Amino acid sequence: MHTYDYDLFTIGAGSGGVRASRFAAQYGARVAVAEAGPLGGTCVNAGCIPKKLMSYAAHYHSDFADAAGFGWSMGEQQFDWATLIANKDKEIARLNGIYGQILTNAKVDIITGHAQIVDAHTVIVNGQSYRAQHILIATGGHPVKPELPGSELGITSDEFFHLPALPRRAVVQGGGYIAVELASILNGLGCQVTLVQRGTQILRSMDADLGHFLIAEMRKKGVEIALDTSILSITTEGDNTQNKRVALSDGRTLDSDCVLFATGRKPNVKDLGLDNAGVQVRENGAIIVDEHFATNVDNIYAIGDVIDRVALTPVALAEGMIVAANLFQHGRKLMSYENIPTAVFSHPNVATLGLTEAKAREKHVHVKIFKSEFKALKHTLSGSTERCLMKMIVDADTDRVLGMHMVGADAGEIIQGFAVAMQCGVTKAQVDATIGVHPTIAEEFVTMRTAVV
């Protein structure tokens, strides 16, 4: 006779929670997952998927312009925001259904509602109590707005994907990947965009050359970028809430139809009942876990954005698989956070892998830098001034490649293949010995021979 209703009770059906639940069930565990919102979490509903779909839509603006150089005569282009949003919503609804089918096929019970932890083995959903041998918290995170007068007049990425109409003018505050992605989408769809960043560079967690290069490319496309600047306040005149007056720290005042904050995210821990069980959290609410994703309370685990380590969907997936295997396959797997490839779907794209130049110099005595900046073959006819940047960082003492970074079309697709090589400890000599696919942008990584530093 079972002592518990379930072997694993997962709170949150985002990417990590679904993956952990499915694998645990496949290992023979009795699993339930509770979710108050649509299945798939942020990635499917208000993150990776809708963002990439809308990025595709925004790229057509430049594609149409590029076509003329190749002999195509283009008529007048018209863009319909409502059509894009409707088709995007249709695809997301399809994915919600697929996530449900995945769980159902794995014989995972789906419980709709907000879950609250009572103790180390008990969870309440919709007034009903469930007992579980293990509890896994995978509730993700949410965007936050800065505290400033009128911030309620602005939106975050959550609301962006459901705007009733494309704004004519937009102010985006932030310098991270979400800010530059959404600014690029708005710009590509025809919106007049001002990106406001309180620091002196964008993409600060990445190699410094990437942010500097991307700024120049985005400015070419018409995005105004105000560095070392922040929003002081947002006001409206009377009942006219459509026009927002944005006061900036550089003394300017901008009129905008939309103010979008991309200034950070926080873990979803509100009303989760962590205090009931005594689960420890950091000052920002992130749940503290050890190398096995165990909290300080026996039998309670946490993964994904709620632990605030690396907020990426593939990372949450990997963490979920590790927890499932360790709990129900007697494993002792550990998660490596080294050499995680990351893409930013700005226009142009950015991709990064391994150490930045600054980090490499902190960890290694002798470092070589290989760098190339060039115009892609496509743009020799398109007339576009867009350029590519590729950078490789090498440990001069061992010849091992430490980092690879890129700004340019399909950067994420290119970096993914090199991530496999770096996972295997590739050296610069091995990269040099690799025959390139010609003519491609990607071949530049295997033809850079002379170090710039």
| Residues that are catalytic | 438
Residue 348, preceding peptide bond in cis (omega within 30° of 0): yes
Cα separation, 287 vs 301, in Å, equals 9
Cα separation, 91 vs 93, in Å, equals 5
Amino acid at 252: R
Q: Are 34 and 116 in contact (CB under 8 A)?
A: no
How many CB atoms within 10 Å of residue 269?
20
DSSP 427: B
Cα separation, 291 vs 334, in Å, equals 7
Dihedral (CA of 69, 71, 77, 82) sign: negative
Name beta bridge partners: 339: none
DSSP 396: T
For 141, 198, 200, 300, 340, the CA distances from 351, given in Å and listed in that order, are 23, 23, 21, 35, 11
Q: What are phi and psi of 341, to 5 degrees?
A: -75, 140
Amino acid at 334: L
Helices 81-105 and 48-67, interaxial angle, to 10°?
140
DSSP 286: P
- Burial of residue 256 (number of CB atoms within 10 Å: 0-12, 13-18, 19+): buried
Length of the chain: 453
Amino acid at 370: F
